[in-house]
Chains A and B, each alone.
Chain A
């Protein structure tokens, strides 16, 4: 099979040994690469009931045959690990340059295992790998750490770093690459922290073997054309993901004040038009993608200086904005920047702050925990302070917030105030306004991730978002489609230019082997089932396939999504049935 090297780099931080292994080509035929391949490998190499932060835990970074080729929109690398936040299998994807750097260095997968007894960094220069002392970088914020690691290898290298939050094992700490791309969710940063690994820097000078160059070229030019003609792509090109603000707010399911409401009265001050008019200065793209959805702003830092920032993306803007009652781009941008620099997932961070404020207002927080803070929605000083306290585990409140909203809520006996599924904070679409997405939140192995099953364009576009009937086949189809996209490292947005049939053609042109949309869908379904099996072995059950009580039983009182809750149980039953699982959501036990 062309397009792959077939080689894994295995780095053991306990022994300090880096070794090269090869995998049979059938593994790519069955699992594609990226999320599929890494999940399969994880399932083969990790024992049950592992502590995710132990030396035995392994983390996998995987790319695909299409990475580093002309194929547009192949801008991701996939990371698979057991999440310290959810306790289940987790996949996180990062855009920017990291996927291509891994591919050009000649590795299809990088596995990191063990634990170093001192802070180290991993340097990968094609096949030359070294583990280097990194005590000077420990404690560095993300931008400084990125610069430091890249200076060790060269300005053409790409780094992936943990921030101080990862070092402190915050359960939703993130990893950062370049000047604005992350492996955001699931606590991946804490995995690095637990291994005393500040990060890795990588560069590669190799080439990707292509089966049919001419075919690849023709397919690429057609895909560029489709992206240019796609209305959705052009909207993202101009405004980025904040283009969603106006739509979701008007439709009344925009998370407002800890998901207590669906409409934020200050929405028009922080929508894409407002950003474009006041702070937008430039645009950025991920490797290989012409859409250019990244947006750069310049705003005033509280200390008066001028700051450039790529972002805030829709999710960050929402969970740190209306969810916390903040209606100013500068305040939200600064909150997002703090999360980025300290190295925490903006969605989970916004979720736990929202929880703490609501819990505080409802008298659920003991006085000594409140730390003298003004726990009200709309106070950015409180938000900035809580981000810092949580990321650095300062004080009892910081320590508890760093566990994530679910664990903290369980300790306080107010689980109903934590907006999460399986511990992962709910993203910027309240499921009371978009029921199919609610089913996706409830059933995905990751917990509440919109990216496992982004049904939004369909449910909004076809105006079926408030229906809970006839939803299940569509949700499964979207989840399957994303499992495939995540395995070839195709960005979700770029799918407007490459559908699953076109993807099969790209795979043929690169690998020289025949693929069909049907076979890709079968692989996607296998990936979902494998993730399910892993989670069941780890102790998950249908009880965990749920939504917060608020979304099951308390309708919004006003707005365009008022009067509706998620009628989850019938959808779940049908979901299990269509996936071929039993009525408790357990897949058949045949070996894979």
Chain B
């Protein structure tokens, strides 16, 4: 599956972030979705993995620590192999990868039922 984003509809509520924390271990710094103010007050910049056709993060990784998950299509990081070099974060066109505590953090699609998509009150996020 792929996440699609219409970021001019984003109101900035960050309910997506709250569900992301709730579905993972709750650390704010480990959110896999980031809502950033733009210059304009219309919408926000929504930084989340789009499961790109050409998977830039996978290609950029020098130690092959990222693979495309068979089931969900998410970019899956092997934390034990990841060195925190940040090449994946640089390569990502959507700003969706963060290096936190020296490990790459990327959306795992909540294992197939992404909570951010389900609960976004503005329908900014859809799956295809």
Closest Cβ–Cβ distance, residue A512 to chain B (whole Å): 15
Closest Cβ–Cβ distance, residue A216 to chain B (whole Å): 8
Cβ contact within 8 Å between B42 and A290: no
Do A207 and B121 form a contact, CB below 8 Å, given A282-B43, A287-B14, A292-B11?
no
Give how many A-B residue pairs fall within 8 Å (CB-CB). Answer: 77
Q: Given the complex of chains A and B, what is the CA–CA distance between A104 and B114 in angstroms?
A: 23
Cβ contact within 8 Å between A290 and B15: yes
Number of interface residues of A (CB under 8 A): 38
Partner of A310, one of B15, B25, B26, B41: B41
Q: Given the complex of chains A and B, what is the CA–CA distance between A72 and B119 in angstroms?
A: 12
Q: Which residues of A contact B25 (CB under 8 A)?
A: 207
Closest Cβ–Cβ distance, residue B94 to chain A (whole Å): 15
* Majority SS at the chain A contact face: loop
Cβ contact within 8 Å between B22 and A70: yes
Residue of B nearest to A207 (CB): B26
Cβ contact within 8 Å between B28 and A206: yes
Cβ contact within 8 Å between B37 and A179: yes
Cβ contact within 8 Å between B19 and A70: yes
Cβ contact within 8 Å between A204 and B28: yes
Q: Given the complex of chains A and B, what is the CA–CA distance between A217 and B67 in angstroms?
A: 31
| Those of A262-321 within 8 Å (CB) of chain B | 281-290, 292, 294, 296, 308-310
Cβ contact within 8 Å between B121 and A308: no
Residue of B nearest to A206 (CB): B28
Size class of the contact patch on chain B: 20 to 34
The verdict on A368 contacting chain B, using a C-beta distance below 8 Å, is no
The verdict on B64 contacting chain A, using a C-beta distance below 8 Å, is no
Q: Given the complex of chains A and B, what is the CA–CA distance between A294 and B36 in angstroms?
A: 17
**Interface digits, B31-44 against A, CB 8 Å rule (1 contact, 0 not)?**
00010110011110
Cβ contact within 8 Å between A207 and B11: no
Residue of A nearest to B44 (CB): A284
| Those of B27-76 within 8 Å (CB) of chain A | 27-30, 34, 36-37, 40-43
Q: Which residues of B contact A309 (CB under 8 A)?
A: 41
The verdict on A224 contacting chain B, using a C-beta distance below 8 Å, is yes
Q: List 29 A-B contacts (CB under 8 A).
A: A70-B19, A97-B14, A155-B36, A179-B37, A204-B28, A205-B27, A205-B28, A205-B29, A206-B29, A207-B21, A210-B26, A213-B22, A224-B119, A224-B121, A282-B41, A282-B43, A284-B12, A285-B12, A285-B13, A288-B14, A289-B15, A292-B11, A292-B13, A292-B122, A294-B11, A296-B41, A308-B42, A309-B41, A310-B41
Give me the interface of A with B, judged by CB distance under 8 Å: 68-70, 72, 97, 100, 104, 155-156, 178-180, 204-208, 210, 213, 216-217, 224, 281-290, 292, 294, 296, 308-310
